[in-house]
A and B are shown apart, each in its own frame.
Chain A
Amino acid sequence: MNILVPIKQVPETSNVKMDPSTGTMIRDGVESIVNPLDLYAIETANQLKERHGGKVTVLTMGPPSAHKALREAIAMGCDDAVLLTDRAFAGADTWATAYVLARAIERIGGYDLILCGERATDGDTGQVGPNIAAALNIPLATYVSGIESVDTGRGEMSVWRMTEHGYEQLLLPLPALLTVVKEISFPRLPTLRGKQRARASEIPAWGAGDLGAEADKIGLKGSPTRVVKIESPKVTRGGTVVKAADGPEQAVDQLVAFLRGRDLV
């Protein structure tokens, strides 16, 4: 079972510090990491490979330094990696990103399954996975929380997908694309041997020319959307804080009065 995992390098947002005086994000010293939600896709791919054979290839579009994210995936057990990097890719929105990833996936070929994280923790869109499935015209299941069965002989798999009401089970012919949620697996840590392999791996870098990408479909030019403004909303609300130690009943009274004042009880 050959599996492709498109991943993204993101800033380490869970430790983002805000400057209280300006309300802006402190970017100094913010490290780049593999999108935490992609780790579940990587882990799931590695588990499927262990059960059904084949190999796992990770790919990412980004600056040349994004090879670090790919090496981290190799250290977790992935076999191969491809870096998609070109100045012409810069400024891509989800559409133009998915276009490049889909072209690269066509060039790699021979895959049974594509696994994506639910979304990236920086852009938070969750669009690139469904975008890629549409570009390749392969079956799609999003928000997959579990794999029920894989039948490599028949070339199909059955998965559970989250909905507002619980879960639904879908049967998909392969090749297919899944976006997976955290519930699906527990990512393993990189091993020492994996790290050694990651350091030694040759990672090919493909540009627009290698992919035969059309110039009006990549980078800023190929992106229908434009970010026109970025604001930093103020986080602090400066509400009332009372101490239960000064009298728990009074604290609860004040709270209930507050809720009533807001029409919440």
Chain B
Amino acid sequence: MKHTGVWALAETHGGKLRDVSFELLARGRALADQLGCELVSVVMAEPMPQEELQELIARGADRVLAVEGEALGDFIAETHSNVLCGLIGERRPEVVLAAATFNGRTLLPHAAMRLHAGLTADCTGLAIDPDTRDLIQTRPAIGGNILATIKSPNHRPQMATVRPKSTRPLPRDAARTGEVERVAFRPQWLDGRVRKIGERADQQDEANIQETDVVVAGGRGMKKAEHFAMLRELAGHLHGVVGASRDAVDRGWAVYPRQVGLSGKTVTPKLYVAVGISGAIQHLAGMKTADVIMAINADEDAPIFQVADFGIVGDLFEVLPLLNDRLAQEGNP
């Protein structure tokens, strides 16, 4: 049986679809159109309301494959991997995409190992070779210093995780039609070895630097933790989230989940604001693919200005309050 169909794994949190699910459908739609095949949105979660699943059709899916069970409410790698490998074995998709999130980057390598499938991590570009139907995957490596193009010519399905925020969701189209297929969770999929026994929220706030349109990051130039209040104000005006360089995290001014760079997170926002960050290669690796980069730094030779679209050389303690006042007056909604 030949492999056909593009699958995009949806992600849920607290019974709701996460935005990355829609971004992934935008990617999948383009690939399915090139391949001339069906785009399937795969949901593995606790039972979901019909209108929530219908939303996946409005966002580009031809079919929703919803595997529902109480056992899928928490992300347990082994159980989710059993479901995914089971379904792939039965239905044989050609391409399987997941978001390069904590869970996506756990589940896909687990399943790919069992399937002896090729898997490319954290892709920023995906295309189809029309002659071979190979998935042409582009991803940054070596701290963003190179862009590698990767394919899996002899193995199916072709699997990839896709960097969040590297594409925009398709506009919602309520007129789109498609089938919602519900599959009951099968007992043999349950792996009861690992159990989730607790959780706690990120203490600073709920937002996440990899899934926001604007990141306002501070570095060593901020001088102390209290000064991050100015960054939180700026982030408020710009509807963004505060990030930090390794220096700032190592000094305890921000928590590790906020760290941008080689040993922290890679972010691809629409706007990245670097304040008091010199722009060491380790930091640039985590943010240089942002759409627009803005920098404020006292040192005009700081490497951050090399990658900036707009930079201000000056004392951040003078510039930031002025900027915050200006944006407050703008009455930016």
* Residues on A facing B (Cβ under 8 Å): 11, 13-16, 18, 25, 36-37, 93-95, 98, 121-135, 139-143, 145, 158, 161-173, 176, 181-183, 217, 223-233, 235-237, 239-245, 248-249, 251-256, 258-259, 262, 264-265
B238 near A16 with CB under 8 A, answer no
For A98, what are the chain B residues with a Cβ–Cβ distance below 8 Å? Answer: 113
Dominant SS at the A interface? mixed
B2: A residues at CB distance < 8 A:
none
Whether the pair B326, A252 counts as a contact (CB closer than 8 A) is yes
| B248 CB, nearest partner CB in chain A, Å | 14
Q: Is A94 a contact partner of B195 (Cβ separation < 8 A)? A: no
A168 in contact with B198 (CB, 8 Å): yes
Q: How far is the CA of A49 from the CA of B255 in the complex (A)?
A: 27
List of B residues within 8 angstroms of A265 by Cβ: 237-238, 327, 330, 332
Q: Does B220 contact A (CB under 8 A)?
A: no
Tell me which of A15, A16, A93, A223 has the highest count of chain B C-beta atoms within 10 A of its own C-beta: A16
Please tell me if B4 contacts chain A, counting CB pairs below 8 Å. Answer: no
Residues of chain B from 286 to 320 with CB closer than 8 A to chain A in the complex: 288, 292-294, 300, 305-315, 318-319
The minimal Cβ–Cβ distance linking A135 to chain B, given in whole angstroms, is: 5
Known: A126-B121, A130-B77. 6 other contacts (CB 8 A): A13-B145, A14-B143, A125-B121, A166-B200, A223-B118, A264-B292
A131 in contact with B112 (CB, 8 Å):
yes
Interface residues in chain B, defined as those with a beta carbon under 8 Å from any beta carbon in chain A: 13, 18, 74, 77-78, 81, 101-103, 105-106, 108-114, 116-122, 136, 140-155, 193-203, 206, 208, 210-211, 214, 237-238, 256-257, 259, 262-264, 270-271, 280-282, 284-285, 288, 292-294, 300, 305-315, 318-319, 322-323, 326-327, 330, 332
With a cutoff of 8 Å between Cβ atoms, the chain B residues found around residue A176 in the complex are 194
List the 9 shortest-distance A-B pairs measured between CB atoms, nearest first: A244-B314, A224-B118, A169-B198, A125-B121, A134-B113, A224-B155, A130-B109, A239-B309, A127-B109
Bound CA–CA A228/B13 (angstroms): 37
Tell me which residues across on chain B come within 8 A of A259, comparing CB atoms. Answer: 271, 294, 310
Cβ 8 A contact of A183, one of B113, B114, B147, B256 = B256
Please state if A264 and B141 are interface contacts (CB–CB under 8 Å): no
Given A124-B141, A236-B306, A265-B238, are A172 and B193 also a contact pair (CB < 8 Å)? yes
Please pick, from B116, B121, B150, B282, the residue contacting A14 in the complex, using a CB distance under 8 A: B282
Contacts of A142 in B (CB 8 A): 77, 102, 105-106
Q: A130-B109, A229-B149, A251-B314 are in contact. Are A121 and B143 (CB under 8 A)?
A: yes
Docked CA distance A133–B193 (Å): 13
Closest Cβ of chain B to A60, distance in Å, is: 19
CA distance A133 to B310 in the complex (A): 45
B77 adjacent to A243 (CB under 8 Å): no
Show 17 residue pairs from A and B whose CB-CB distance is below 8 angstroms, ordered by the A residue.
A94-B109, A121-B263, A126-B105, A134-B114, A161-B102, A162-B102, A164-B13, A235-B288, A236-B307, A240-B309, A241-B300, A244-B312, A252-B319, A253-B326, A256-B327, A258-B294, A259-B294
Please report the C-alpha to C-alpha distance between residue A161 and residue B102 in the assembled complex, in whole angstroms. Answer: 9
Do B306 and A243 touch (CB < 8 A)? no
Residues of B within 8 Å of A94, CB to CB, are: 109, 119, 121
Chain B positions within 8 Å of A165 at CB level: 13, 199, 201-202, 206, 208
**CB-contact partner of B311 in A124, A170, A239, under 8 A:** A239
Once the chains are docked, how many angstroms separate the CA of A201 from the CA of B199? 43
Name which residue of chain B comes closest to A247, CB basis: B314
**Given the contacts A164-B101, A228-B149, A170 and B118 also touching, CB distance less than 8 Å:** no
Alpha-carbon distance between A37 and B118 when the two chains are bound, in angstroms? 24
Q: Say how far A22's CB is from chain B's closest CB, in angstroms.
A: 12
Contact of B150 among A135, A227, A231, A239 (CB under 8 A): A227
Cα distance, A251 to B18, chains bound together (Å):
38
Contacts known (A165-B206, A233-B147); A140 close to B110, Cβ less than 8 A: yes
User: With A16-B142, A127-B119 in contact, is A164–B102 under 8 Å at CB?
Assistant: yes
Contact at B292–A226, with CB atoms within 8 Å? no
Question: Is the Cβ of A262 less than 8 Å from the Cβ of B292?
Answer: yes
Inter-chain CA distance A130–B237, complex, in Å, is 40
Which residues on A sit within 8 Å (CB–CB) of B214?
Answer: 264
